[in-house]
């Protein structure tokens, strides 16, 4: 429902800016309305501690700053996918303070996994920088914000190497979903009646990203 463009990732005032811009264009015969920025690590990591200091984007609702890790590989009879959302912010239109820390995956036998949890911050993530972090071990996954543990899950399926990503995605009302419960197995489409230039460009700011491997 949008297109990644390299010009939407740039350094300004000592921070990485990942920007979403209103830029109507055609792609594969479909009318789209926005371009956005993404950054990806060149190497994969398996288990470790991941931390980034991030300030949210000014636009709300409609965009989703995210810090996440994901990877895929062949396994058994099919392709295994794994995704750990260290944080997705500003994606819930009804509450700008909701911070999502979700797990997604696809097992080799084709079973989709969507393990959702969130934390309600006492502050607005647009107002200042905060430190978002995750400890990923063979046995458990633990999320931290500003040094405080906010969520934890058993690691049942997230055991393959993954790349680190920072990105700006679109959310409702700028896109629409169709699919199963909680939009799982969903298809995403632009929402032309809501796709206006008001509030754009808007960017998340990243002060630093740090990754530690496990001993």
Active site residues: 83, 85, 88
- Encode 29-52 in three state secondary structure: CEEEEEEECEEECCCCECCEEEEE
CB 106 within 8 A of CB 112: yes
Which ranges of the chain does DSSP label H, i.e. alpha helix?
A: none
CB 164 within 8 A of CB 38: no
The span from the first CA to the last CA of the chain, in angstroms, equals 40
Distance CA 14, CA 44 (A): 26
Number of H-type helices and E-type strands within the chain: 0, 19
H or E element in which residue 172 lies: none
């Amino acid at each position: 429902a949008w297109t990644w463009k390299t010009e939407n990732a740039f350094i300004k005032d000592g921070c990485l800016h990942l920007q979403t811009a209103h830029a109507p264009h055609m792609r594969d015969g479909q009318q789209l309305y926005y371009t956005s920025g993404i950054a990806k690590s060149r190497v994969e990591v398996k288990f470790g501690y991941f931390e980034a200091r991030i300030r949210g984007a000014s636009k709300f609702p409609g965009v989703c700053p995210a810090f996440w890790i994901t990877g895929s590989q062949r396994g058994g009879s099919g392709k295994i996918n794994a995704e750990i959302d260290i944080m997705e912010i500003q994606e819930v239109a009804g509450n700008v303070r909701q911070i999502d820390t979700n797990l997604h995956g696809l097992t080799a036998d084709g079973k989709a996994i969507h393990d959702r949890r969130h934390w309600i911050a006492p502050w607005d993530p647009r107002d200042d920088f905060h430190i978002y972090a995750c400890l990923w071990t063979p046995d458990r996954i633990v999320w931290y914000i500003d040094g405080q543990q906010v969520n934890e899950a058993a690691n049942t399926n997230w055991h393959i190497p993954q790349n680190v990503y920072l990105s700006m995605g679109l959310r409702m009302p700028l896109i629409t979903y169709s699919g199963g419960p909680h939009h799982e197995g969903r298809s995403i489409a632009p929402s032309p009646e809501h796709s206006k230039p008001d509030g754009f460009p808007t960017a998340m700011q990243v002060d630093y990203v740090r990754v530690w491997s496990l001993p």
